[in-house]
A = this chain, B = another copy of it.
Amino acid sequence: MPTPARTSLADVVAAARSLIEADGLEALTMQRVAATVGVRAPSLYKRVRNRGELVRLVMQDAARELGDVLSAAATTGDPRRDLAALARAVRAFAHAHPGAYGLLFAPMPDAWRPEPAALDAAIDPLLRTTAALAGPDEALEAARTVVAWAHGFLVMELAGAFRLGGDVDRAYAYGIKRLTEALVREPSRK
């Protein structure tokens, strides 16, 4: 006689994400997730193969949400303004969801990496903006340069690496400005 489901995959992922956000990745335990959704730990294995898959699902959830944010941020059609808007949007996302953001390119056991497509989709608006800025031939390299800078900056900021003096906001704005200048395809360059 079937018993009705007492939770759902979406509930489980949301519970896992809130645990990560509150206390970091090591706080995401099967037992705590189970308690949060009102079930015992073994039942989670009806929704998820193992803890690793659950971490990956949280990662993908965050990547999808970041993609939505970025798509909504690049709207002016002016690549310089769009690039600055994208950079500010990803930083706002990282500040709002530091736990989830810190997962995005975290060192992971090879087994449970996210589908590459998940992150690629999130980054797509940035790829289009840098293509407009640097030209199609260098679009990929330019996008990787910008993504690497922004991600490195945010990882370091979240890790507290900038605690010693200086104005972090100013350093971020400086990076945006200089990178934008650097990527613009000059009409004539020796």
**CB within 8 Å of B: which residues of A?**
24-26, 98-99, 102, 105-110, 113, 116, 119-120, 138, 140-142, 144-145, 147-153, 155-156, 158-166, 170-171, 174-175, 178-179, 181-183
Measured CB to CB, the nearest residue on chain B to A163 is B116
- Pick from B99, B108, B171: contact of A145, CB below 8 A: B171
Pairs A–B under 8 Å by Cβ, sample size 27: A25-B107, A99-B107, A105-B155, A105-B159, A108-B159, A116-B161, A140-B166, A140-B171, A141-B166, A141-B171, A141-B174, A144-B156, A144-B162, A145-B153, A145-B171, A145-B174, A147-B152, A148-B149, A148-B152, A152-B153, A152-B155, A155-B155, A178-B182, A179-B179, A179-B182, A181-B182, A182-B182
Q: Given A109-B26, A141-B170, A159-B105, are A175 and B153 also a contact pair (CB < 8 Å)?
A: no
Number of copies: 2
Instruction: Check A153 against B160 for contact (C-beta < 8 Å).
Output: no
Q: For residue A155, which residues in chain B have a CB less than 8 angstroms away from its CB?
A: 105, 107, 151-152, 155
